[in-house]
Amino acid sequence: MSVAAGPLFAFDNSFVRELEGLYEPWQAAPAPAPELLVLNDALATDLGVDPTVLRTADGVDVLVGNTVPPGAQPVAQAYAGHQFGGYSPRLGDGRALLLGEVLDARGQRHDLHLKGSGRTPFARGGDGKAAVGPMLREYVVSEAMHALGIPTARSLAVVATGEDVVRESMLPGAVLSRVAASHIRVGTFEYTAALRDPELLRALADHAIARHHPDAATADSPYLAFFQGVVDAQADLIARWMAVGFVHGVMNTDNMAVSGQTIDYGPCAFMDVYDPATVFSSIDHGGRYAYGNQPQIALWNLARLGESLLPLIAPTQEQALEPATAVLRSFTTRYEDRRRVHFGAKLGLADAGPDDDGLIDRFLNLLHEHDVDFTAGFRSLSTALGEGDPTRALFADPAAFDAWGAEWRPRVAAQHDRDSAEVAAAMDRVNPVYIPRNHLVEDVLSRGTFGELEPLHALLGVLAHPFDERPGLERYAHPAPADFGDYRTFCGT
Ligand code: AMP
Ligand code: MG
């Protein structure tokens, strides 16, 4: 590795400074022939970097890990994790590096991370590499999530390395550069708690509080308040996932960030026909991470965080257990509140209360019974407020929808401060027209893998404005054709 000339990013590496013992300094493997496949110009600008500089050969060398930019201190972060319920005491960044923390123009701190950058001390049996397809999937889906208003890590670039990686076949390799509030995971706390070094655990918690839940610092019990902050952030995050039909696919504790952002996109996908049992990941045989299980799994993961925090919460485990359990239990109510807010808004209700849960559930049941596409079903609802309602036609038995509509319309009309045009406009701001549909994602990934990048850029352009219906983009709004079949995604790829 060489050092690039001139400052690029404004680095300030607090994790490395404050948390020795939770990382290994490391460098990326050289990429023989880097080629920029996609760059997020707007994100680069937000990070205070001129995108034209990143497009130069020197810039691409930074994005692929060939050059360490001034101020960066690349490390592989250590963490543990429960994977499909089983504990692994040492996972860590096996094929990723934290390059450093970038302060943007507003002074906000972001991790700049590389994925697919070669083996690290945490690589175990893995090759440390990534293929173009899965890195493009993370890019497309994370940027779509961002445009949908969902807290998420974002993607800065995908650079092909010029080297093949061995998967089921030989595939072109790539490095994804991604940006997140941090990559501190539930698994980071599990790893640190297992070291039985109370000062390091406290330092990690203080670090995470300062970065993500600063109000907790001045609470009576800062670590309990931190736990509550993570519980609340996750409750809202999962409710938002559910409201767009997102299935993360691998909600292991090492893939859950304490910031409340969505991270580590692997075998993720969006549900088409509404079915709570929807699973896409080829390795999730038991459906542990099915769409409908996501809230319970979040709670399960948060229990692991709570256990890790016990030594900080009170001098003895007995004393810590009761308040920590109370915080954990608050997840369910909090989740239900947030679900009501997000699904209520999808139904045109700005003030949804517990009495509306039945209305929400009955609509979801209708979608399920009639095999209606989740995204199209909700999007169509704003038209069902007016004359000549096309929504009915989505249901095998339109009369079933009529019965539900007869209950729903008066409830919407009871919001006297908004007329139906305003309600319809508000619904269209939360019910997307365009999501990363599986058949479209597969198509751009397979073409992109072999250098055809136009379809990728076109899809990214559509997904950047998911709520604005535009003429000529009909094919992006349509569900997969019938012959697309049973969709499976692959993890660890
Ligand atoms: P994931 O399920 O992708 O979040 O990864 C789980 C763990 O496996 C993490 O510790 C990763 O760093 C590691 N891992 C996944 N793929 C590879 C790979 N190709 N080489 C090395 N480590 C990997
Ligand atoms: Mg992961």
pLDDT, one tens digit per residue, over 149-185 is: 999 999 999 999 999 999 999 999 999 999 999 999 9
| Per-residue pLDDT tens digits for 294-310 | 999 999 999 999 999 99
Tell whether 287 is covered by a domain.
yes
Same domain, 274 and 325: yes
Q: Looking at the CA of 166, which ligand is closest? A: 1
Q: Looking at the CA of 267, which ligand is closest? A: 1
Mean pLDDT over 114-141 rounds to 98
Same domain, 135 and 207: no
Neighbours of 107 (CB within 10 A): 8
* Domain end (from 277, 311, 344): 344
Q: What gap in Å lies between CA 473 and CA 471, rounded to an integer?
A: 6
Give residue 119 CA to ligand 1 midpoint distance, Å.
Answer: 10
Share of the chain above pLDDT 70, in %: 98
pTM listed for this prediction: 0.97
Q: What is the pLDDT of residue 491?
A: 55
Same domain, 149 and 291: no
* Domain end (from 183, 204, 231): 183
Q: What is the 3 state secondary structure string of 409-471?
A: HHHHHCCCCCCHHHHHHHHHCCCCCCCCCHHHHHHHHHHHHCCCCHHHHHHHHHHCCCCCCCC
DSSP 371: T
Give residue 283 CA to ligand 1 midpoint distance, Å.
Answer: 14
On whether 125 is known to bind a ligand per the annotation, the reply is: no
Pocket of ligand 1, candidates 93, 95, 282: which has the most ligand atoms within 8 Å of its Cβ, to mutate? 95
Q: What gap in Å lies between CA 289 and CA 287, rounded to an integer?
A: 5
On whether 6 is known to bind a ligand per the annotation, the reply is: no
Residues with Cβ within 6 A of ligand 1?
91-96, 122-123, 126-129, 250, 255, 264, 266, 491-492
Q: What is the average pLDDT value for the chain, to the nearest integer?
A: 96
Same domain, 146 and 213: no
Pocket of ligand 1, candidates 24, 91, 284: which has the most ligand atoms within 8 Å of its Cβ, to mutate? 91
Same domain, 80 and 161: yes
Tell whether 76 is covered by a domain.
yes
Tell whether 440 is covered by a domain.
no
Same domain, 317 and 201: yes
Pick 481 or 97 by higher pLDDT: 97
Active site residues: 254
Mean pLDDT over 117-146 rounds to 98
Same domain, 54 and 200: no
On whether 149 is known to bind a ligand per the annotation, the reply is: no
The SS3 assignment for 269 reads strand
* Domain end (from 167, 183, 199): 183
Q: Strand pairing partners for 185?
A: 257
Whether the per-residue pLDDT at 5 is higher than 80: the answer is no
Q: How many domains does the chain have?
A: 2
Please tell me the residue having the least CA distance from ligand 1 atom 22: 94
Same domain, 164 and 286: no
On whether 127 is known to bind a ligand per the annotation, the reply is: yes
| Domain of 20, in residue numbers | 2-183
| Per-residue pLDDT tens digits for 435-462 | 999 999 999 999 999 999 999 999 999 9
Whether the per-residue pLDDT at 3 is higher than 50: the answer is no
Q: Please give the structure tokens belonging to residue 117.
A: 């950058």
Same domain, 159 and 196: no
Q: What is the pLDDT of residue 2?
A: 45
Q: Strand pairing partners for 246?
A: 270
| Helix ranges restricted to H, 176-316 | 186-194, 198-212, 222-244, 294-313
Same domain, 147 and 191: no
